[in-house]
Structure 1
Amino acid sequence: MTSRMRAEIGEQPDALRRTVDALLPRTADIAALARETRQVLFIARGSSDNAAVYGRYLVESHAGRLATLAAPSIATAYRRKLDLDGVLAVAISQSGKTEEIVETLDWAAGCGARTVAVTNGAGSPLAEAAEVALITRAGDELAVPATKTYTTQLAALSVLGLGLGADVEAGDLRAVPDEVARLIDLTESSDALPEIVEELAAVPGAVVSGRGIAFGTALELALKIKEACYLHAMGLSYADLLHGPIAVVDDRTPALLVAAESGPTLPGTIALARRVQGAGARAYGVGGGAGLAGACSAALPGPGLPEWVAPLALIVPGQILVENLARRLGVDPDVPRGLNKVTQTD
């Protein structure tokens, strides 16, 4: 029987198409806020925080603005006022109902920031709290692990980047839905998929690594492995991995390496795959084109998209891998233990 998670993975092309069509006209609203701000502060938790990592790299590398990730406890626990004049605060929440995120956005506004919300919850408290609300069109998501709400958040953040003046082409974003549909078919017909599933089912965990614009994808894939498969998974930039934690990669701890098919971090990802293999461990690629596939033990296909939008599709083979791995391990991927769709934190 098809899991809800798998069904929602398959709904992503349409969800992305609806979201892009709805949000691209909002770039003017974002540009108006951009004229009054200098830097960006992202407010998020969980999968939304991994989306924020993508947003940070996009804004800094292509829009030329400093971007940082907020520590919500400064607002909610320490209740410390900061000078946020000139800051654009962007809060991300799939439901728009996480009280900590809403409270932190209100705090940011009270500290002088201009505010944007990215949420799938039209009419939610978060959408109501923001000056500009970018409402994604993912539709209802019933499986607890975020799939289509995550990729549509990335689409909204791509639109944010365009509104902030990123030096990219909006047409690249319109190519994403068809590429995601193609990638779903390619991944599910890949001989590498069952091979990687069987090998991961036999180990206690893995390291998941990427860098730059693909780093958020590595973090999200690691999170999905942990929450849906109950395996240990460490998400790291490959730069941080090389500073010491690479010692954990061995014949019982393989590396999953994610990369776009082009961009400045691809050569380093390929070099890392060769180092892992040379140390006697297994390296599995996700994306990265023929170069990464050739350096890995096995590899899943990646999107043929420019690096700046590649993460919108790059996570999709990882989602399919996780759904297959969960079922192989006898875990229901739709309702991981201990998790709810909306998480509230103190």
Structure 2
Amino acid sequence: MSTSRMRAEIGEQPGALRRTLEGLLPRVGDIADLARETRQVLFIARGSSDNAAVYGRYLVESHAGRLATLAAPSIATTYRRKVDLDGVLAVAISQSGKTEEIVQTMEWAASCGARTVAVTNGHGSPLAEAAEVALLTEAGDELAVPATKTYTTQLAALAVLGLGLGADVDRADLDRVPDEVERLIAATEASPALPEIVGELARVPGAVVSGRGIAFGTALELALKIKEACYLHAMGLSYADLLHGPIAVVDAQTPALLVAADDGPTLPGTIALAERVRSAGAKAFTVGGGAGLAGAGNAALAGPDLPEWVAPLGLIVPGQILVENLARALGLDPDVPRGLNKVTQTD
């Protein structure tokens, strides 16, 4: 079978990340200047961009000490209610910059007193033009419907945003990301665990995908990709929420995919969850988490050798490759999932 466009774009991510970081790291000062007039952050997004926003939220709260929340765009576009957003930095995220709901919600936020930042791959787009500061990613054209390189470059932009907000992290960690993603692509495709996990997922109706903290957005994004490209039921949950009841759905026909950085405070809990899944007679497949998580699961894809705060920029990559392989194993075209378009307009 010929290489899919999705797979080609997965392979373009190291270059896209290099260009994006080169273009955006000099903007840290611009972000800092705008942020001085704010005290909390409101992320505005839908779809994969919303999953990127989850990463942004955890990064800002855990490392920059600012309250961060996810917006409900319907308050602006459907209920049309005003909210006091004085002191708020509104960060709107859209790969195209053309989704009317996101543009309208950012403009609404500004009218409510917020300062505005756009994260978009759409140079010259309505979103980029309307924001006070536009963080333009350099993913290039993305033709496959499932977002890959536009998603990881959004994460890169949000990492730069975190620096501008004063996050207590080592900026030099970002310099390692493109090479690590390049290494990870090759390592994932050579891993004997890849066909094993694909084969197992191809014979079940769905899976639970779980992570926590900074890796939670990765779990949500991987679940979305499984639903979009493979038409399987995939539930993305924080492992804390999973343990509150939905753990009952994990069984012989519903394996768990668990994601984690190789370090950080949520890793022990993810390892314990893998052990609990297996003790219940279900399969636990893991992405990242180092040797500890790999040893607790049935089959493992290695994650990036990156600190937790920046790990999501690489952690989703084995998941992307897994999804592309799974779609083809199911006889599906991962480039053009049914019922989806590259730009989705919502009311």
Same-fold call, TM > 0.5? yes
Distance between the aligned counterparts of 1:98 and 1:243, measured in 2?
Answer: 35
**Residue 340 of structure 1 aligns with which residue?**
341
Identical columns (%): 86
- Deviation at residue 289 of structure 1 after TM alignment: 0.4
Distance between the aligned counterparts of 1:24 and 1:256, measured in 2?
Answer: 33
Distance between the aligned counterparts of 1:344 and 1:158, measured in 2?
Answer: 27
**Residue 136 of structure 1 aligns with which residue?**
137
Distance between the aligned counterparts of 2:323 and 2:17, measured in 1?
Answer: 21
**Residue 169 of structure 1 aligns with which residue?**
170
- Deviation at residue 286 of structure 1 after TM alignment: 0.2
Distance between the aligned counterparts of 1:121 and 1:169, measured in 2?
Answer: 29
**Residue 285 of structure 1 aligns with which residue?**
286
- Deviation at residue 237 of structure 1 after TM alignment: 0.1
1:78-124 per-position Cα deviation (integer Å, ceiling 9, x unaligned): 00001000000000000000000000000000000000000000100
**Residue 194 of structure 1 aligns with which residue?**
195
- Please report the TM-score for the alignment, with normalisation by the length of structure 1: 1.00
**Residue 117 of structure 1 aligns with which residue?**
118
**Residue 329 of structure 2 aligns with which residue?**
328
- The aligned amino acid for 2:75 is I
Distance between the aligned counterparts of 1:128 and 1:247, measured in 2?
Answer: 48
The alignment's C-alpha RMSD in Å is 0.3
Structure-to-structure mapping, 1:54-69, within 5 angstroms: 54-69=55-70
* Corresponding position: 1:226 with 2:231: no
Distance between the aligned counterparts of 2:343 and 2:274, measured in 1?
Answer: 36
* Corresponding position: 1:72 with 2:37: no
Distance between the aligned counterparts of 2:289 and 2:80, measured in 1?
Answer: 43
Structure-to-structure mapping, 1:10-21, within 5 angstroms: 10-21=11-22
- Deviation at residue 304 of structure 1 after TM alignment: 0.5
- Deviation at residue 5 of structure 1 after TM alignment: 0.1
Secondary structure, counterpart of 2:257 in structure 1: strand
Distance between the aligned counterparts of 2:29 and 2:285, measured in 1?
Answer: 41
1:282-317 per-position Cα deviation (integer Å, ceiling 9, x unaligned): 000000000000000000010000000000000000
**Residue 247 of structure 1 aligns with which residue?**
248
Secondary structure, counterpart of 1:281 in structure 2: coil
Distance between the aligned counterparts of 2:170 and 2:146, measured in 1?
Answer: 31
Unaligned runs of 5+ in 2: none
Q: How many residues are matched? A: 346
- Deviation at residue 174 of structure 1 after TM alignment: 1.0
- Please report the TM-score for the alignment, with normalisation by the length of structure 2: 1.00
Structure-to-structure mapping, 1:75-114, within 5 angstroms: 75-114=76-115
Secondary structure, counterpart of 2:184 in structure 1: helix
- The aligned amino acid for 2:174 is L
- Deviation at residue 34 of structure 1 after TM alignment: 1.1
- The aligned amino acid for 2:141 is D
Distance between the aligned counterparts of 2:262 and 2:60, measured in 1?
Answer: 20
Q: Segments of 4+ in structure 1 off by > 3 A?
A: none
